Every structure is written in C-alpha cells, then in structure tokens.
Amino acid sequence: MTRASLSKAPHEVAAMFDDVAERYDLTNDLLSLWQDRRWRRAVLSAVAPKPNERVLDLAAGTGTSSLPLVFAGATTIPCDFSVGMLKVGKRERPRLPFVAGDAMQLPFGDETFDAVTITFGLRNVADPTVGLAELLRVTRPGGRLVVCEFSKPTFAPFRKVYDEYLVRALPAVAGRVSSDPESYTYLAESIQAWPDQAGLARIVAAAGWRGVQVRNLSGGIVALHRAWH
Ligand SMILES: C[S@@+](CC[C@H](N)C(=O)[O-])C[C@H]1O[C@@H](n2cnc3c(N)ncnc32)[C@H](O)[C@@H]1O
C-alpha cells in the first residue's frame, strides 16, 4: 500500500515533525487525554524485552517510545529521519543512542536486532510494506515485531463519536497547544485513511512476518500488531 491518498511527500513529513518537535510530548499527552502512557506500557509488555536484548525503536522521534524499553534493560536504538525530533531527543535524553535513518532504507545490517518496534510511525512511512520488509531484514530469525498504531474503534456508536473528535476537536485543541496546528489536521486525515486492524494484519503478513496477532487498546483507537520473523 502507498500513502497516495495523503497529501505529504516524505521530505514534507520529516519537515512537519521538525516543526512540532519542541511541543511534541505535551501535545501528545493532551490530545490522547493521557492515554498515550497506557499505550506505551502495552507496547513494552508486547515487546517483552529481556535485559541486554537489542531492540530497534523505529520512528522514535524524541525517544519517548524508547524510554520504557531502556528502563526494562534492553539495549535500545532509537532511529528517526526528522532532524528536529532527533535534536530535541538528544537534548532531553542525551544518553539515548539516537541514529538518523529512513524506515524505507534502514542504516543497519541484516539480523541486527532481537526485536523491532514502531510506535505511531508506520502510518507516516511512504510505503509501509517496504518499511515492514526493512524491519524484517534487520531482525534475527525468531525475533519479533510490535507495531503500535492508530486504528478503528470496534464499537460502531463509539466509532462515530471518535470520528467527530478527529475531524473537529483534535485540530481545534492542537491549534491551541501545538507549534504547528496544521500538522494535526494531517494527523486526523492520516488516521482516517489508515487501514483497520485486519487490513494492517494483512500488510504485516504480506511483508513476510509470521503469526500476526492483534490487540486492541482503548476500544480500538489504537491497535498493537505483534508478529515473528
Ligand atoms: C508521531 S511520531 C512518533 C514518535 C515516537 N515513536 C512516539 O511514540 O512518541 C512519528 C515519527 O515518525 C518519524 N518518521 C516518519 N516517517 C519516517 C521514516 N520514513 N523513517 C524514519 N522515521 C520516520 C517522524 O519523523 C516522527 O518522529
């Protein structure tokens, strides 16, 4: 699948994240009503890193998604292609070994990692199937993948309310707190254009991953997809 239905090219996505980097964590907390913290704990338990395992946190941004993995004792490599996000991350979390890299062509050798994960990043990658194949390439045989991404609420009436939130409330709130409110209109559009749980499971499998499992969080607002090399 491609991002053809969305309006931003890869360099525009990187520039967009450069622009929101300074207030990124605060805006996230507010827009998700602090649910993002629960979602990050769920990612940690899905990755279930053992001490000293090597874990790639792709599209790590400022490193917020990497911290739980680091605290669990995994050797975690945060990788992102937005220089702005990396700069803020390096300033706020100087001990994290940030690596600049594009999901479409990862700067790592084959079978480098025990586990790979991507939180709220895959939706932005120009071709998610290529990104998932790259993640497979850098994972050792038997290693695992955890994708955390926005998805579709499973209860129809709630889904309607949530769609309203995406179209109206989210851009309005972001307009007040974010350094680049327009990017949150893109966020709402990109969430709506993204496949549902079953659709993403098919994409993960098509990229070569096995045994795909899905877990809904917050009624399906977010879904975790877990799979094995
Ligand atoms: C919404 S942020 C998520 C950051 C972090 N994972 C978190 O959970 O807070 C999405 C990140 O994906 C990064 N990204 C998007 N496309 C990418 C690509 N092709 N390669 C590397 N990073 C990418 C953006 O630069 C941005 O930092």
Distance from the alpha carbon of residue 83 to the mean position of ligand 1, in angstroms: 11
Beta carbon of 148 within 6 Å of any ligand 1 atom: no
Distance from the alpha carbon of residue 156 to the mean position of ligand 1, in angstroms: 29
Whole-model pTM? 0.92
Of the candidates 135, 151, 126, 121, the residue with the CA atom closest to the CA atom of residue 214: 151
Beta carbon of 99 within 6 Å of any ligand 1 atom: no
C-alpha to C-alpha distance for 48 and 90, rounded to whole angstroms = 25
Beta carbon of 32 within 6 Å of any ligand 1 atom: no
pLDDT tens, position by position, for the chain (229 residues)? 344 445 678 898 888 888 878 777 777 777 777 788 899 999 999 999 998 899 999 999 999 999 999 999 999 999 999 999 999 999 999 999 999 999 999 999 999 999 999 999 999 999 999 999 999 999 999 999 999 999 999 999 999 998 888 888 877 877 777 667 677 788 888 888 999 999 999 999 999 999 999 999 999 999 999 999 9
Q: Are 137 and 115 in contact (CB under 8 A)?
A: no
